[in-house]
Structure 1
C-alpha cells in the first residue's frame, strides 16, 4: 500500500552519526537539568531533528502547546469521536514533528478545525516504515497565518498506551498517538518558533463544511483530502 502524494515524509537527509551523538548529549543534559527552564539549544541541526531523535529512542513522548509553563499535564476529554481518542487522558506523540504543529498554531486567537496525522505502514510481517504526515487547518484561519511561538514538552512514556494498529487489507497502520489516563509531569521542554516547523508552508487549508460533509459520507476516508 502506497499513501497518496499529499502525505509527506521527513525532510532529507537524516542526521549523521556525529549529529546523533550531539543529540544524545544534549538530551542527557536536558533530562539532568529538568523541565523548569527550556533546553538551551545551540546545535546547528534543526530542532525538529532533535525532537524526532528524542521520540525515536522510544522512552519519551512529546506534546506541543502554546503554554510555556506547564508543570503537570492533567487528563482532559478531547473533541474526538474515534474509539481511542474519545477518552479522558493526556495525549502525546511518539514522533518529533507532529507535536510541533500543535505548538505553533494560535488557536486562542484564530478559531479553526484541525485535520492532521502521523502514520507508519507495514505490510504483512514487515517492520513499520518511515512516518508520513498530513497537516491541514480551516482555510479561513490559514489566510491569517495563525502562527505563534510554542513549546514542545518531553514526557516519560511509562503511563501511556499506544493507539492500536488499524488494518487496511493486508496493511497495518500505526498512528503515533499515545494516551495516559493519569497526570504526567514533563521531564524537559524545548521552545520552538513557527520557522522551526519544516512543513509550515505545506500546511493545507480546508473548507470546514465540505470537509464535514465528506467525513459524514465516508467516515473511514481520513484525511478527506480535497485538491485545490
Structure 2
C-alpha cells in the first residue's frame, strides 16, 4: 500500500537511455574523481544525466550545499525523515535530491519548505514544495554537489519503501565535487507551493494537483 501511494502521489524521473559514446565520455570523467577536486564539466549532455549515470555505479552518494569549499564533513545533530534526532553526516544516493539542497538559497527561506526522495521497488519518487513567501524571494542560487564514498554510509531506513537518506556517524572527506545551478535541477518544474499552516500529509495529497493547476496558470 505504501509503495502504491508513493507512485500515485509523487513524481518519478523518466528512465534514461545512454548512448555508447555518452558512456565512454562519462567513464573518462569518472576517472578524474579524486582528492576533492572540482570536476570541469564540458560535455554536451546535461549534468543531471551524468550524475544519474554516476549514481548507477552504486559507488557514490551525494551531498548538496550552498557552501563550495568543504574539505571534510563532520557529523552534526540533525533530524531524520521520521523526526528521530541523530548526529551524522547526511547524503543521498539520488543526486537530483541533493542538487535541490545545493541550489536552494537557505537565507531566502521564509517559513517552511518540504521535499523528499522515496525509493520503492527499485524506483525513486520525488516531491518539492515551498511556501508562497519563500517562492516570492526567488530562493535559487548556484551551489556545490559533493560526491562521497558510499561505503562510508548506511541507509537511515531499512524498509522496502524508504526515504533515500544515507548517514555516516564518522567524518567523511569528499571524493570530488561539481558546481551546479538551477539549470541542473531536473525537478525545477516540479516545485509546488504549499500553505504555511497545512499538514505535511495535505502537502503530499495536493502535490501533483498543484503542479497541474500551476501548469494551467491556476493555483490551489
Aligned partner of 1:20 among 15, 20, 23? 23
Q: CA deviation at 1:139?
A: 2.2
Q: CA deviation at 1:148?
A: 0.2
Structure with bigger helix share is 2
Q: CA deviation at 1:59?
A: 1.1
Query: What residue number does 1:218 align with?
Result: none
Report if the CA contact (8 A) 2:79-2:86 is conserved. no
RMSD of aligned residue pairs (Cα, Å):
2.1
Query: What residue number does 1:152 align with?
Result: 145
Report if the CA contact (8 A) 1:65-1:150 is conserved. yes
Q: CA deviation at 1:6?
A: 4.6
1:18-97 equivalences in 2 (<5 Å): 18-31=21-34, 34-36=35-37, 38-80=38-80, 82=82, 86-97=85-96
SS at match of 2:140: coil
Report if the CA contact (8 A) 2:194-2:203 is conserved. no
Q: What are the ranges of 5 or more consecutive residues in structure 2 without an aligned counterpart?
A: 210-219
What's the TM-score, normalizing by structure 2? 0.84
Aligned residues: 205
SS at match of 1:29: coil
SS at match of 1:98: helix
Report if the CA contact (8 A) 1:62-1:92 is conserved. yes
1:184-199 equivalences in 2 (<5 Å): 184-199=172-187
Q: Deviations over 1:35-72 (max 9, x none)?
A: 14x21001111111111111221111100000010011
Q: CA deviation at 1:29?
A: 1.4
Separation of aligned partners in 2, 1:222 and 1:182: 36
Q: CA deviation at 1:22?
A: 1.4
Distance 1:70 1:112, change over 3 A: farther
Separation of aligned partners in 2, 1:18 and 1:41: 16
Separation of aligned partners in 2, 1:25 and 1:89: 32
Q: CA deviation at 1:140?
A: 1.4
Query: What residue number does 2:10 align with?
Result: 7
Query: What residue number does 2:157 align with?
Result: 164
SS at match of 2:69: coil
Q: Deviations over 1:148-205 (max 9, x none)?
A: 0010000112221112333xxxxx3032210000111001000001111121122111
SS at match of 1:69: coil
Separation of aligned partners in 2, 1:27 and 1:143: 38
SS at match of 1:77: strand
Q: What are the ranges of 5 or more consecutive residues in structure 1 without an aligned counterpart?
A: 123-127, 167-171, 216-220
Separation of aligned partners in 1, 2:110 and 2:153: 29
SS at match of 2:48: helix
Distance 1:20 1:223, change over 3 A: farther
Separation of aligned partners in 1, 2:152 and 2:91: 11
